[in-house]
Structure 1
Amino acid sequence: MTATTDPHRPAPVDLAHHAHLTGVFAPQREEVDAADLPVHGEIPDDLHGSYLRNGPNPRFDPIGSFVYPLDGDGMVHRVTLAGGQASYSNRFVRTPMIELEEQRGQALWSGITDGYTPPASVVGDELAGTTRELPDINIVAHAGRLMAMQESDRPYRLDPRTLATVGKEDCDGAMRVGSTAHPKIDPRTGEMVLFNYSLEAPYLTWSVVGADGRTLRTPTPVHGLDAPMMIHDMALTEKYVVLFVNPLVFDLAAVMTGGALLSWQPERGTRIALIPRDGAAIRWIDTEPFWVWHFANAFDNPDGSVTVDYVEHSYPGGFATSTAPNPASLMRAQCDPVTGAINRTRISERTGLEFPRIDDRLLTLEHHRVATVGKADTDHDELDSLWFHDLRTGRDTVWTPDVAVGEPIYIPGTNRDYWGAIGTDPVDMRSRFYLLDADNPASGPIATIDLPIRVPAGLHGTWITVHRPSLTL
């Protein structure tokens, strides 16, 4: 039996009328290598490195369902800057699902919310009953490993030179039970700290990989949860692993009767776990319900409290039905591990923000610059502007390139620093990489690089500096 004769195979998704499969989100099926890209302006000579970005990109037209950003195969894009020139390459993260689908020339696995899994008669005994692997959220470099991260599973390791898929990675056992897409790397110790949630007790674990790539802490239970919860991101200080456990619950009973996999249960409130990195007892702090996708940073204060900067939503859009406002505000929480007190204040009066980033060299330390993606006062449906928040002065500045722009990345140079981002013009569908002066980003790009193909709107990325310009990235 082939996939086309499987009587239970779901119908194709209607790409033409799906908001996240058309326009700037439309999948890209080409793998490209291009050098000497056209540059408008000038790439500074002190920049030698690569920006890598991951994102959902279905290899074949999806079947059953497609829920962005949870569904879609991983595609890693790389823009390399060296010697004043730019090059580009991209590769699919080749999971067993993609490899078999390429042999058949069509999608065999449906979206993760559809409930369909292909039988052995279609995909063989080894893959029968499996769901699609989704290493399409983030890209992380640590201890010589380049990893395409997925949600609550082990990542896929890539060859840093070619971007070819090497295979699944467990980081010397630290990711034995999986990892979420957002581990954090302490720039002072070189340690990578990660967490993972699962559908079975103890529901939540954390672990640590040393700077040399060896496991310093194996997956360690975080006790205190009575149900499986979705937790997308984490924060890290010099003393604590910080987890915001918002009340988005995996409802397996509802799934068995045709209901939704994830249930928003605000009556549970939000619980914040301050997990001492030295292994001491966890401190839980309870507060009102809200949702967090992404953190900017966190740091310890002299009085023992912990400051956490993040984007707060009233509820997780797409996973909760509500007509209440959902402003997506840049927030600061002051948490006291002794008294359990928490104070949340808005950092910026602007709303509709997401994808907060800082200079990664300041992770775990006090910082004063945060960049986010948002919407300016335009008619665009997509996020179309980069916002820069000065936490010392409380001043926000904005650069609006009149394109759909993605998550910013802080790029340290030898002589000065920069912000970078990929954007796509929704009119001509051309993608470009924009390089901004970190000290004056609102003035616009000092260099705009034309990319050889359209880069679909995606998720998270990283900058890798290379100190030897001759090294191939």
Structure 2
Amino acid sequence: MSPPDHGIGFRTLDAETTVAELPVKGALPGWLEGSLLRNGPARYDAGDRSVRHWFDGQAMLHRFTLADGKVSYANRFLDTPANRAIAAGRISYPEFATDPCRSLFARFFTRFTRKPNANANVNVTRFGDRYVALTETPLPVAFDPDTLATAGVVGYEDSLSGQLTTAHPHQDPATGDLVNYLLHFSRTSEYRVYRQPAAGTTRELIGSHQVARPSYMHSFAITRRHVVLAEFPLVVNPLSIVLSGRPFIENYRWEPERGTRFTVMDARDGTVRGTYEGPAFFAFHHINAFDDGDDVVLDICSYEDASVIDALYLDRLRAGGGIPVALPTRYRISLGSGEVGVERLAEEPLELPRIAYERHNGSPYRYAYGVGAGDRDGGGFIDRLVKLDVTTGDTLLWSGEGCYPGEPVFVAAPDAAGEDDGVVLSVVLDAAADSSFLLVLDARTYEMLARAEVPHAVPFGFHGMFSGRS
């Protein structure tokens, strides 16, 4: 008997729901209090037309609040012009792989009038007391964490500019500042690495790096001393984005002969230590990075090539299509010799990685948590949760019949005695039941402690955060 269809996770969810208390099986740890906030696409269909890619669905926020052994739930769309247009049956804004224009004339006309899209459907973070949803355009959208109501786009109080950024800012391990970069497209494009006080909206340039053909990079790495950009050989001529008439990502070209270029920048003064050449590969997500003497160590969820982007087109996923798998891989950059060493950390697939971030971001660590797949040949979909010991390659797995988990979020126990002393939270689609549940695992043993049943199927999302009670 074949497993239930994971295509259910790519249906539009129109209903916005508030549930005061979800049914819970098992028992939550008494210390676990706070809210898991999740972000991801949930609206794909506009009348008789649909967006083309998983990354193009309109943002919906989900909140699971845990206290006194109980779990409440709410979900709400991010209120943006693009979302309102699609709800009204129109695709009016450009997305990652969707062009709003059908005719050649319309493409030509809007080529010079398009406005950035604030469909912040990728991640959530905090700017001090403000919670914001993020995407790859520098338009963070603030929301109320209690009601999930949208408060509007957050403006920056500085002169830094760029068309792209990442939805994965890092917290500087030393200062607590947020660190990210802007990509400014031009004849000679420029990565502009900046820091932002955790409670402010004024960004300060750390340093910049010019490139002729920018790479598509969904995330980057930070250590206690360095910022590292892994420039994969999926690159673009910026002029083609303006003139080709193709959706954004379809202007990028895979050129493996370029290899991967690791640009290492001093996080204090922006000095570029060098650009180091490694083998061609592609990735969405870095796991962690740290300094080891004069070496910089990067752990990355590595794909052989960029074909995973094509596998994530919506029609393929809705038809139950499989996706290539990423393998956890260590790249060791010798700043002295310029050599880049490559080591596979495990043969178990790993994506959407998380660590004990508060204590080990940018520092040596032992454990990573992520999603994986039983079909290592790319014929299946995400169907398990993985815990990886990066020092030994050992793994622990959780899976359930017909279940497809989302990104695991590690929550440390109060006064944690060890790196994995805590729980892992994941929103899991139960395809057979056509519903989802919040799964709580013991992070040490990877055994289930509890699950809270949601009254509908939660579409597959991307990233989230746990906000503990203050």
Distance 1:204 1:118, change over 3 A: farther
Distance 1:106 1:152 in 2: 21
Q: Which residue number corresponds to residue 404 of structure 1?
A: 404
Mapping 1:143-158, distance limit 5 Å: 143-158=128-143
Structure 2 residue 392 is matched with structure 1 residue 393: yes
Greater alpha carbon shift after TM alignment, 231-240 vs 166-175: 166-175
Aligned match of 2:28: 43
Of 70, 73, 82, which aligns to 1:88? 73
- After superposition, the Cα gap between the structure-2 partners of 1:187 and 1:412, relative to the gap in structure 1 and judged at 3 Å, is farther
Question: What is aligned with 1:240?
Answer: 226
After superposition, give the CA deviation of every residue in 1:192-231 in whole Å (9 maximum; x if it has no partner). Answer: 10112243243321111123325362374322x1113211
Identify the match of residue 360 of structure 1 among 352, 357, 362: 357
Instruction: Using the TM superposition, name which of 206-215 and 138-147 deviates more.
Output: 206-215
CA displacement, residues 273-317 of structure 1 (integer Å, 9 cap, x when unaligned)? 11111114212111221111101111111x221111111111112
Rounded to whole Å, the distance in 2 between the matches of 1:294 and 1:248 is 15
Determine whether 1:316 maps to 2:317: no
1:413 corresponds to which residue? Answer: 413
Which letter does structure 1 place at the counterpart of 2:386? W
Equivalence for 2:429: 424
> Per-residue deviation at 1:100?
4.5
Distance 2:379 2:69 in 1: 33
Partner SS, residue 331 of structure 2 = strand
- Is the partner of 1:272 in helix, strand or coil? strand
The alignment partner of 2:83 has SS state of helix
Q: How far apart, CA to CA, are the structure 2 residues paired with 1:219 and 1:276?
A: 9
Stretch of structure 1 that moved more, 407-416 or 447-456: 407-416
Shift of 1:398: 0.9
Q: Where do 1:162-181 residues align within 5 Å?
A: 162-173=147-158, 176-177=161-162, 179-181=165-167
How far apart, in 2, do the equivalents of 1:29 and 1:258 lie? 31
- Which runs of structure 2 are paired with 1:251-330 in the superposition (5 Å)? 251=237, 256=243, 260-282=250-272, 283-301=274-292, 303-319=293-309, 327-330=325-328
Q: Is the 8 A contact 2:155 2:201 kept in 1?
A: no
Deviation at 1:132, TM superposition (A): 4.3
AA of the residue aligned to 1:412:
A
**TM-score, normalised relative to structure 2:** 0.84
- C-alpha contact (below 8 Å) 2:45/2:51 kept by paired residues: no
The 1-side partners of 2:137 and 2:67 are apart by 35
Residues 188/131 of structure 1: CA separation in 2 closer, same or farther (3 Å cut): closer
Range with bigger deviation, 196-205 or 159-168? 196-205
- Cα deviation for residue 98 of structure 1 reads 2.3
Deviations 1:371-411 (A, max 9, x none): 12111369994311011111233311111123011111001
Please report how far the alpha carbon of residue 60 of structure 1 lies from its aligned counterpart in structure 2 after TM superposition.
Answer: 4.2
Query: 2: distance between equivalents of 1:281 and 1:219?
Result: 9
Q: Greater CA deviation, 157-166 or 105-114?
A: 105-114
Q: Percent identity?
A: 27
In structure 2, relative to structure 1, the CA distance for the partners of 1:380 and 1:335 (3 Å cut) is closer
Partners of 1:91 and 1:23 in 2: how far apart? 19
Name the residue aligned to 2:341: 343
1:370: which partner in 2?
Answer: 368
Map 1:104-143; keep pairs closer than 5 Å: 104=88, 106-109=90-93, 112-117=96-101, 129-130=114-115, 132-143=117-128
- Tell me the residue number matched to 2:457: 454
- Whether 1:194 aligns to 2:180 is yes
Secondary structure, aligned partner of 1:293: coil
Residues in 2 aligned to 1:327 and 1:166: alpha-carbon distance in whole angstroms: 37
Q: Is the 8 A contact 2:234 2:252 kept in 1?
A: yes
Cα distance, 1:134 vs structure 2: 2.4
Evaluate the alpha carbon distance shift between residue 265 and residue 392 of structure 1 in structure 2; reply closer, same or farther with a 3 A threshold. Answer: closer
Residue of 46, 58, 83 corresponding to 1:73: 58
Give the deviation of 1:454 after TM superposition. 1.6
3-state SS in 1 of match to 2:46: coil
Aligned AA (1:369): Y
- Residue identity opposite 1:363 in structure 2: N
Q: Bigger CA drift: 110-119 or 146-155? A: 110-119
Report the count of equivalent residues: 434
**1:326, CA displacement in angstroms?**
5.8
Q: Equivalent residue for 2:18?
A: 33
**Unaligned segments of structure 2, at least 5 residues:** 312-322, 416-420
- Report if the CA contact (8 A) 1:199-1:250 is conserved: no
How far did 1:145 drift? 2.1
Give the whole-Å Cα distance in 1 for the aligned partners of 2:36 and 2:143.
15
SS class of match (1:315): coil
Corresponding position of 2:315:
none
Helix, strand or coil at the partner of 2:264: strand
Report how far residue 31 of structure 1 moved: 1.1
Check the 8 A contact 1:375/1:385 in 2, yes or no.
yes
For the 8 Å contact 1:65–1:113, the answer to whether it is kept is no
Supply the distance in 2 between the matched residues of 1:355 and 1:145 (Cα, whole angstroms).
24
User: 2:93·2:99 contact (CA, 8 Å) conserved in 1?
Assistant: no
Tell me, in whole angstroms, the C-alpha distance in 1 between the residues paired with 2:335 and 2:326.
26
AA at the equivalent of 2:466: W
**Cα distance, 1:80 vs. partner?**
0.9
Secondary structure of 1:292's match?
coil
Aligned-partner Cα distance in 2 for 1:107–1:358: 37
Aligned pair partner of 2:9 in 10, 24, 27: 24
- Per-residue CA distance 1:9-34 (angstroms, 9 max, x = gap): xxxxxxxxxx99x4122121111111
- CA RMSD in angstroms comes to 3.0
Task: Sort the Cα spacing of 1:163 and 1:365 in 2 relative to 1 into closer, same or farther, 3 A.
Answer: same
Tell me which amino acid in the other structure corresponds to 1:356. P
Helix, strand or coil for the counterpart of 1:70? helix
Whole-angstrom distance in 2 between the partners of 1:420 and 1:384: 15
Residues in 1 aligned to 2:102 and 2:244: alpha-carbon distance in whole angstroms: 20
SS of the residue aligned with 1:291?
A: coil
Secondary structure, counterpart of 1:99 in structure 2: helix
Inter-CA distance 393–381: structure 2 relative to 1 (3 Å threshold):
closer
Equivalent residue for 2:205? 218
Residue 175 of structure 1: how far off its partner (Å):
7.0
- Give yes or no for the alignment of 1:465 onto 2:438: no
